[in-house]
C-alpha cells in the first residue's frame, strides 16, 4: 500500500511542489486548501501523472473547528496517515514598520502560520498515536522560513510566527520520538513564488550582490524534493532538525 501524506496549502507554490515531489516518491496525497481552484486541478493532474491518488479538502486551518474534518479527510483514503506537511501560510498584507503592526494583521498571520498549524499538527499527532505503526516512515514536517532566524523588520508578525514554528517542531520531536514519529522543520529561503513576487526586484538585486553562496533564486521544487526525502525516512536518525533550503543564506560570514 502506498504511503499517505496530507499537505496543507497544497494548491500552488511550495505546497504544490511538495505534493508533486511526494507523488514522485510513491505517496498518495490529500491536499487541504481554502478552495478548489484551477491551481488544484493543475497540481492534482501533475501528481496523478506520477501515479498518485489525490484527494482534496476545502478548509481554512485558521478555523480550528474545521480541523476534525481535515483529519478525517486525511485518513479516509487508506485508514491511516504517514506524513503531515504543515505548509499553509500567509504573509503580511502590507510590509511596514514594526511600530505600525496592527492587531488585525498580527492575529491573521499568527492565526494561520502558528495557531492553525500547531493545532492541526496536534490533532494529527493524536490520531497517529492511536494508530498501530505500519511499514512506512511517519513524520510531521513543518515548513517555517529563513525568517525563523533572519529578521525582516518590515514583516515582524511573520517572523514571530516562523520562529515559534521552529520551537514547535522540536517539542513535537521529543513528544513523538518514542512512537517512531519524526518531526522536522524545513526553512525555505528566497523561493520564487507568488508570496515573494512583491519583493522580486529587491531579491534580484540582493542575489546579484551575493546574498547567497548559491547565487540564484530557490525554486519550489528545491523545497519539495527536500520534504520528500525527509518523508521517505532517508534521515532515519534525525528528528527535531531544521533543514535549510536557502542556498546558504543562513551561513554567517565576516
Got the DSSP string for 38-71?
HHHHHHHHHHHTTT--EEEEE--TT-GGGHHHHH
- How many CB atoms neighbour CB 131 within 10 A? 14
Active site residue 184: no
What is the spatial distance between Cα 167 and Cα 113, in angstroms, rounded to a whole number? 13
What is the spatial distance between Cα 46 and Cα 101, in angstroms, rounded to a whole number? 39
What is the spatial distance between Cα 232 and Cα 98, in angstroms, rounded to a whole number? 40
Q: Which listed residue (158, 172, 184, 217) is catalytic?
A: 158
- Give the Å distances, CA to CA, from 153 to 13, 92, 100, 159, 211: 24, 12, 11, 8, 17
Rg, C-alpha atoms of the chain: 17
Q: List residues with catalytic annotation.
A: 158
Amino acid at each position: 500500500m502506498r504511503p499517505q501524506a496530507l499537505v496543507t496549502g497544497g494548491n500552488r507554490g511550495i505546497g504544490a511542489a511538495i505534493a508533486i515531489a511526494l507523488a514522485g516518491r510513491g505517496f498518495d496525497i490529500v491536499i487541504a486548501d481554502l478552495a478548489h481552484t484551477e491551481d488544484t486541478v493543475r497540481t492534482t493532474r501533475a501528481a496523478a501523472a506520477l501515479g498518485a491518488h489525490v484527494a482534496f479538502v476545502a478548509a481554512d486551518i485558521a478555523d480550528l473547528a474545521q480541523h476534525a474534518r481535515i483529519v478525517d479527510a486525511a485518513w479516509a483514503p487508506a485508514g491511516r496517515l504517514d506524513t503531515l506537511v504543515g505548509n499553509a501560510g500567509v504573509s503580511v498584507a502590507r510590509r511596514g514598520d514594526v511600530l505600525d503592526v496592527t492587531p488585525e494583521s498580527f492575529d491573521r498571520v499568527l492565526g494561520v502560520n502558528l495557531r492553525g498549524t500547531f493545532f492541526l499538527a496536534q490533532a494529527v499527532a493524536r490520531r497517529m498515536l492511536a494508530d498501530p505503526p505500519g511499514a512506512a516512515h511517519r513524520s510531521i514536517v513543518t515548513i517555517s522560513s529563513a525568517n525563523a532566524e533572519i529578521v525582516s523588520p518590515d514583516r515582524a508578525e511573520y517572523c514571530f510566527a516562523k520562529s515559534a514554528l521552529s520551537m514547535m517542531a522540536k517539542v513535537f520531536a521529543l513528544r513523538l520520538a518514542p512512537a517512531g514519529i519524526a518531526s522536522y522543520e524545513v526553512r525555505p529561503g528566497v523561493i520564487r513564488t507568488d508570496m515573494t513576487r512583491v519583493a522580486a526586484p529587491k531579491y534580484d538585486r540582493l542575489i546579484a550582490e551575493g546574498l547567497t553562496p548559491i547565487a540564484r533564486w530557490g525554486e519550489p521544487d528545491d523545497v519539495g524534493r527536500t520534504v520528500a526525502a525527509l518523508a521517505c525516512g532517508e534521515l532515519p536518525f534525525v528528528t527535531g532538525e531544521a533543514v535549510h533550503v536557502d542556498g546558504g543564506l543562513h551561513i554567517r560570514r565576516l
